[in-house]
Structure 1
Amino acid sequence: MTMEATPPSSPEPITFPCKSCGGPMHFDSEAQAMKCQYCGREEAIVSSDERPVEYDLELDAEADPKRKDWGIKQQAVKCENCGGVSLIPLLQTATLCAFCGSPKVLLQEDAADAIRPETMIPFQVSKSEAVNAFRAWKKKRWFVPNAFKKGQIDSALTGIYIPYWTFDSDTYSNYSAERGDYHYRNETRTRVVNGRRETYTERVRYTVWRHVSGDYGRSFDDVLIPASGQYDGELLQKLGNFRLEKLTGYLPEYLSGYVAEKYSVNRSEGWQRARNRMSSTLHNEIRQRIGGDEIRGLRVGTNYFNRTYKHILLPVWNANYKYRNKPYRYMVNGQTGLVSGLVPRSAVKITFFVLFCLAVAIPIIWWFMQNE
């Protein structure tokens, strides 16, 4: 059933009680410690010494019940509006979707089938820092209304740990193609000028083709694939590369006060996306290796072996806002503060820019036509 809104005075469920006052303790990104929401008491987090584990892609490690132990009881919450599924502590209530802000959220059963991440990057950027980053970012956007640039945008930020897969693989490729190299020669030709026939010499380019083949070995490490079904892959890509060398062992304390999204891109689909990315990289590198001015008929056959993967959580601040009754979204990288989002456009500014470009281009085109 659809959950009713919880009155503001309702106490938040205590997952990690404060030893001083019993209030709820949340992970504080600035202190990098647990902080009581009532008395402000801070408590250090003992870092996990768990090292990132690379699981063999060929083995069904997901069947191991230990990999589904999150350290805290989880329940899944599904949004009727966008279909997003998030994970929150058992008994905690959710009144708004963490992804789209819709109040149409359905409480599902506990999330016992969700694989616990091996490692994660805790939030490094606070909510206030994320808001300031967005304000600075929107002021630098082109073709947006001035009122949007200068005005205050009301948006509620939600800290979400987004699931990702990382894949490793060794590859061995055989390739064949035709390499084309440009050569030049002078040719004598004739033309008619002012009614008179004359000869002239022209430098002509031609292509010499030859067959090439070879093999190519390449290893891939930590190919990062979003396992989220709620975000445009392009927006996530614009958030920039996370610094995966900062991955730390998973601890439930890091999730306190935040939402964790349940992955909707399964391991098999994630591998296919990673493989496509590896294949594209291999084709580009093999083309560079072949060289030449042109390449045609390139064929690449690749074997993938020593394939491993891991499931991780990465921090993102998510916000939905409206401008002139139209919905928009932006996200802030919870580790680096980089912003990615969608903004309104000013039709007036775009029109003036197009007219300016035409005003500059038309005289240049006319000049070239006159001098032909």
Structure 2
Amino acid sequence: MSTSTSSTAIRFPCAGCAGPMVFDSESQNLKCRYCGAERSIDNVMEQPQEHPFDNEGDNLEALHDWGTEQQLIHCETCGGETLIPAGQTTSQCVFCGSPKVLPQADSGSIRPESVIPFQISRDEALSSFSAWKKKRWFLPGAFKKQNVNSELNSIYIPYWTYDTDTYSVYTAEVGIYHYRTVTRTRVVNGKSETYTATERYTVWHPTRGDYDRSFDDLLIPASGHYDSGLLGKLGDFELSELRTYQPEYLSGYISERYSVSREQGWEEAREIADDTLKSEIKQVIGGDEIRNLNIRTSYDDITYKHLLLPVWNANYTYKSKSYYYMVNGQTGTVSGHVPRSAVKITLFTLLCIGIAGLVVLFILSQQDTSVQESLIR
């Protein structure tokens, strides 16, 4: 069943007033928007199912069943696509703030295996940003003191995680430092003299070996519509708190449809694994230097999961210019862009140049003193 199919769609009416119930980050329950009644959500902590990466059966209807009716929204300006509960309307894009959003047909998106529900409220997200910006350097004084009027959107960002077993074979040359005493000649006060010094040299040896390593939950953002730098700084999610996906967690929230495919996500995960293997194999080889390192790695038993992780996405305007920031909906970590004060940056640059100049003058004065003492002797 695709996200646009409604035959088994689930809604969450209040038992008291029949009003819509949405997920409440403070109580971690469903809460009625009208009468405030709450209903608990079964906290299912089953081990999420890992799907074989090469499984041709990923078009099965079961993997497309989100358990609640969704509609796909497409932004004409930035191309962003989000999934919102059917019947809900939106007037602007959660990515760029553009009002040009249109309903679209959806051929089906793989539903998430797990989710971390929102734990940071809107007010807490605003407070986190306020505290964060006060610690930034070079901000205009007026901006640092004022309360920023932000447009916040709570959105579940899609991620892929990958597990894999690896087996690597490697060859390299390892260099070991040795030291020897050598005799050299120098000229002092116009006279030639000999002296001894310690000289380092490197002895190279060939080496080879193999290395086994398993990777668990290589976390890759499946969103292609955010600043990757900002999103990367929000990566302190505590995945131990993942809960088995249930549609109640999405009630009242927007979820982004992944725009990074499983294959693209795996390429990113493989690059991370390759870098990790290179670093760890270097540690295994040891030595003082390594050159001509060649690693060949096979990846086996590759599996993946689709996760939804909570993020507050915000934009604001300062002096007619737009800025963006994000708040981790679980931990409250903030990353973002802020205006800069040209005056403060200029003053800091001049200060650094002045300090560097004083250091140079000090070094030159010490050299002049040494020359004068040498002439006296």
TM-score normalised by length of structure 2: 0.92
Change (3 A) 1:186 1:370: farther
Corresponding residue for residue 292 of structure 2: 297
Secondary structure of the residue aligned to 2:195 is strand
Corresponding residue for residue 309 of structure 1: 304
C-alpha displacement of 1:45: 1.4
Corresponding residue for residue 63 of structure 2: 67
Structure 1 counterpart of 2:38, one-letter code? E
Corresponding residue for residue 95 of structure 2: 99
Change (3 A) 1:44 1:327: same
Secondary structure of the residue aligned to 1:312 is strand
Change (3 A) 1:293 1:49: closer
Secondary structure of the residue aligned to 1:180 is strand
Q: Deviations over 1:52-101 (max 9, x none)?
A: 00111121242111111111111111111111100012222221101111
Q: Please tell me whether the aligned partners of residues 167 and 297 of structure 2 are also in contact (alpha carbons under 8 angstroms).
A: yes
- 1:273 to 2:268 alignment: yes
Q: Please tell me whether the aligned partners of residues 314 and 325 of structure 2 are also in contact (alpha carbons under 8 angstroms).
A: yes
Corresponding residue for residue 277 of structure 2: 282
- 1:42 to 2:38 alignment: yes
Distance 2:11 2:214 in 1: 43
Distance 1:45 1:33 in 2: 6
Distance 1:333 1:346 in 2: 27
- How many residues are matched? 358
Q: Deviations over 1:211-247 (max 9, x none)?
A: 1111111110000000001112221121132111111
For 1:116-131, list aligned pairs within 5 A: 116-131=111-126
Moved over 6 A (4+): none
C-alpha displacement of 1:249: 1.2
Corresponding residue for residue 234 of structure 1: 229
For 1:200-239, list aligned pairs within 5 A: 200-239=195-234
Secondary structure of the residue aligned to 2:220 is strand
Q: Deviations over 1:278-308 (max 9, x none)?
A: 0000001111111122111100000111111
Report which stretch shifted further, 320-329 or 275-284.
320-329
Corresponding residue for residue 56 of structure 1: 52
Corresponding residue for residue 152 of structure 1: 147
Segments of structure 1 that go 5 or more residues without pairing to the other structure are 1-13
Q: Please tell me whether the aligned partners of residues 236 and 331 of structure 2 are also in contact (alpha carbons under 8 angstroms).
A: no
Change (3 A) 1:265 1:26: same
Segments of structure 2 that go 5 or more residues without pairing to the other structure are 1-9, 368-377
Corresponding residue for residue 4 of structure 1: none
TM-score normalised by length of structure 1: 0.93
Distance 2:87 2:121 in 1: 26
Distance 2:227 2:157 in 1: 13
C-alpha displacement of 1:368: 2.4
- 1:341 to 2:336 alignment: yes
- 1:195 to 2:193 alignment: no
Distance 1:45 1:112 in 2: 29
Corresponding residue for residue 350 of structure 2: 355
Secondary structure of the residue aligned to 1:211 is strand
Identity, % of aligned positions = 58
Distance 2:133 2:154 in 1: 20
Corresponding residue for residue 33 of structure 1: 29
Structure 1 counterpart of 2:72, one-letter code? A
Q: Please tell me whether the aligned partners of residues 84 and 255 of structure 2 are also in contact (alpha carbons under 8 angstroms).
A: yes
Structure 1 counterpart of 2:54, one-letter code? E
Corresponding residue for residue 139 of structure 1: 134
C-alpha displacement of 1:46: 2.1
Change (3 A) 1:38 1:240: same
Q: Please tell me whether the aligned partners of residues 68 and 114 of structure 1 are also in contact (alpha carbons under 8 angstroms).
A: yes
Q: Deviations over 1:197-220 (max 9, x none)?
A: 222222222111111111111110
Distance 2:11 2:61 in 1: 23
Secondary structure of the residue aligned to 1:280 is helix
C-alpha displacement of 1:367: 2.3
| RMSD of Structure 2 on Structure 1 (CA) | 1.5
